[in-house]
Amino acid sequence: MKIAVKRLGPIRDSVVEVGNLTILYGPPDSGKSYLLIKNIRRIFSA
């Protein structure tokens, strides 16, 4: 599943591909939690 993100917290424009095991990593304040919180229902219902 691909998730397109635009203007979400510090994320300006990005596409993230989510698989069976997806690990989000990066520096503090890079948008990892924003991505998870805003898309949690879509990620777990797939």
Amino acid at site 40: I
pLDDT digit string (tens) for 26-43? 999 888 888 888 777 777
Element (H, E) at 43: helix 32-45
Q: Which two tokens stand for residue 32?
A: 């990892």
Q: What are the residue ranges spanned by the domains of the chain?
A: 2-45
pLDDT digit string (tens) for 7-23? 888 889 989 888 888 88
Nearest to 36 by CA among 20, 27, 8: 8
Phi, psi of 30 (to 5 degrees): -100, -5
Q: For position 13, what pLDDT does the model report?
A: 92
Q: For position 16, what pLDDT does the model report?
A: 85
Of residues 30 and 45, the one with the higher pLDDT is 30
Of residues 38 and 4, the one with the higher pLDDT is 4
